[in-house]
Structures are given as structure tokens and as C-alpha cells.
């Protein structure tokens, strides 16, 4: 499995040689550095830990600074771990750059969606409103919460609450272009998260 950490830059558009317009999201992917390699012998499973994003050493506590020094890499703002089939393919201190993917690859992008605050059922779930006539008193209310028989509201019922700000994955996105010189990956379509937020790019698990 191929994976890399990145920062969402924003959306733009590019044109194909045939003149077709493609909406893309620009992601600053890497460079990431391997901070730890986990194997069956040492940890009981195969995985690789990578760091991304520069941070001042003063903002890293001593245990984490020792972790980075042991790996021989600079302090990183983000650390993530990826399961792999064979961790022996990686070495501590190795650099993972944007060219881990190439144009045409199918990937899954994970990020934290934009927080929308407290929202009602209409905005949160697309529920229908009530009659707008004078005196109806049910213009934007949630409506019925269930039958009287169970005497309680079932779990998962659509109700007002906090919208967004949750871990979200968009699957089967296509890599349109890789710019290794500027550490950029252009992905067709939109990815979750606000600008400058952390995103995780991994090989798609459902691509045909």
C-alpha cells in the first residue's frame, strides 16, 4: 500500500490537451520522513510511522524529540502510522515524496470535514420543513421521533446536533498530475477539510 501525508492547498482547474476542463484539488504532499518501522518481531505487526510538517524543536517535548533524534530526522508536526504488508521495504529516515503516486492512480483521501456548528435537521440531514402557514408552529422542527410503543427514541435517529468537524474519507479519487518539484499532487474533485488542513492520501481500497 502506498500512502503519504499532505496539506490541502485549495481547488483550481486545469485543462487537458483536448481542451476539457478538470476541477482539481491541490495538495502539498510531503516530503514525509519515516520515523519508525514496526515489524512482527518488535511490535507484533507490520507498519511504518511517518512524520510530516516542520515544527520548532521547542514545541516538541523531550520524549518526542528523542524519538525524532533516534530516527535521524527533524521534528515533525504530524505523525501517522500505516499498516503495510512488508515493513522491511522501508528504512528509518527514508524520505517519501509526492512521486509515490503517479497520474491515473486511484486514491482515498481522509481529512477532517469543515465544522458547521449546531444545526437543525433540515441543514444537517436535508429533512423537509413543515407547512409555512400562519400558526402551524412546525415550520423547521424535527417532527415525530417515533411511535409511542417503544417509549424511547431509537439510537441513530436524525435529530439536531453538531454538523461537520468529523473524520471523513472520499474514496476512488483520481490523481490527475504530480508535480515533484513543488511537492504537489492534483486530485480530481473535492477532498474533505479546510485549506491548510492535514489530509491523508492512500491507495484506494475499492478501485477496480
Give how far the C-alpha of residue 70 lies from the chain's centroid of Cα atoms, to the nearest Å: 28
Q: How confident is the model at residue 208 (pLDDT cuts 50, 70, 90)?
A: low
Contact 162, 112 (CB under 8 A): no
Whether residue 150 has pLDDT greater than 70: yes
In this prediction the pTM is 0.83
**Which of helix, strand or coil describes residue 72?**
coil
Residue 12, class by beta-carbon neighbours within 10 Å (0-12 exposed, 13-18 middle, 19+ buried)? exposed
Cα 175 to Cα 102: distance, rounded to the nearest angstrom: 7
Cα 79 to Cα 58: distance, rounded to the nearest angstrom: 17
Predicted confidence at residue 78, as pLDDT, reads 92
CATH superfamily of this structure's domain 3-112+167-203:
Translation factors (2.40.30.10)
- Taking 3-state DSSP, the helix, strand and coil percentages for the chain, each rounded to the nearest 5, stand at 10, 40, 50
Give me the mean pLDDT over the 30-39 stretch: 89
Cα 84 to Cα 151: distance, rounded to the nearest angstrom: 48
Write the pLDDT tens digit of every residue in 54-92. Answer: 889 889 999 999 999 998 888 999 999 999 888 888 889
Whether residue 48 has pLDDT greater than 80: yes
Predicted confidence at residue 25, as pLDDT, reads 95
**86 Cβ partners below 8 Å, 6+ apart?**
46
Taking Cα atoms as reference points, which of 199, 207, 2 lies closest to residue 85? Answer: 2
**54 Cβ partners below 8 Å, 6+ apart?**
74, 75, 76, 77
**18 Cβ partners below 8 Å, 6+ apart?**
none
Q: DSSP character for 59?
A: G
Cα 84 to Cα 158: distance, rounded to the nearest angstrom: 38
Predicted confidence at residue 168, as pLDDT, reads 94
Whether residue 126 has pLDDT greater than 90: yes
Cα 145 to Cα 106: distance, rounded to the nearest angstrom: 41
Mean pLDDT of the chain: 91
Could you tell me what percent of the chain has a pLDDT over 70? Answer: 100
Cα 102 to Cα 121: distance, rounded to the nearest angstrom: 41
Whether residue 12 has pLDDT greater than 90: yes
Query: Which residue ranges make up each domain of the chain?
Result: 3-112+167-203
Amino acid at each position: 500500500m502506498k500512502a503519504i501525508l499532505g496539506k490541502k492547498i485549495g481547488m483550481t482547474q486545469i485543462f487537458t490537451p483536448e481542451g476539457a476542463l478538470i476541477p482539481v484539488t491541490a495538495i502539498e504532499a510531503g516530503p514525509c520522513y519515516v520515523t519508525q518501522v514496526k515489524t512482527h518481531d518488535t511490535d507484533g505487526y507490520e507498519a511504518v510511522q511517518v512524520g510530516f510538517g516542520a515544527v520548532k524543536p521547542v514545541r516538541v517535548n523531550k520524549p518526542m524529540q528523542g524519538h525524532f533524534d533516534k530516527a535521524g530526522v527533524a521534528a515533525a508536526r504530524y505523525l501517522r502510522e500505516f499498516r503495510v504488508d512488508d515493513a522491511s521495504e522501508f528504512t528509518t529516515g527514508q524520505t517519501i515524496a509526492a512521486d509515490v503516486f503517479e497520474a491515473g492512480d486511484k486514491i482515498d483521501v481522509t481529512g477532517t470535514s469543515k465544522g458547521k456548528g449546531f444545526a437543525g435537521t433540515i441543514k444537517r440531514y436535508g429533512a423537509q420543513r413543515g407547512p409555512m402557514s400562519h400558526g402551524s408552529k412546525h415550520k423547521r422542527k424535527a417532527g415525530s421521533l417515533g411511535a409511542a410503543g417503544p417509549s424511547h427514541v431509537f439510537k441513530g435517529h436524525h435529530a439536531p446536533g453538531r454538523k461537520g468537524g468529523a473524520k471523513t474519507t472520499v474514496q476512488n479519487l483520481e490523481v490527475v498530475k504530480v508535480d515533484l518539484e513543488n511537492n504537489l499532487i492534483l486530485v480530481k474533485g473535492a477532498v474533505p477539510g479546510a485549506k491548510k488542513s492535514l489530509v491523508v492520501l492512500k491507495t484506494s481500497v475499492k478501485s477496480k
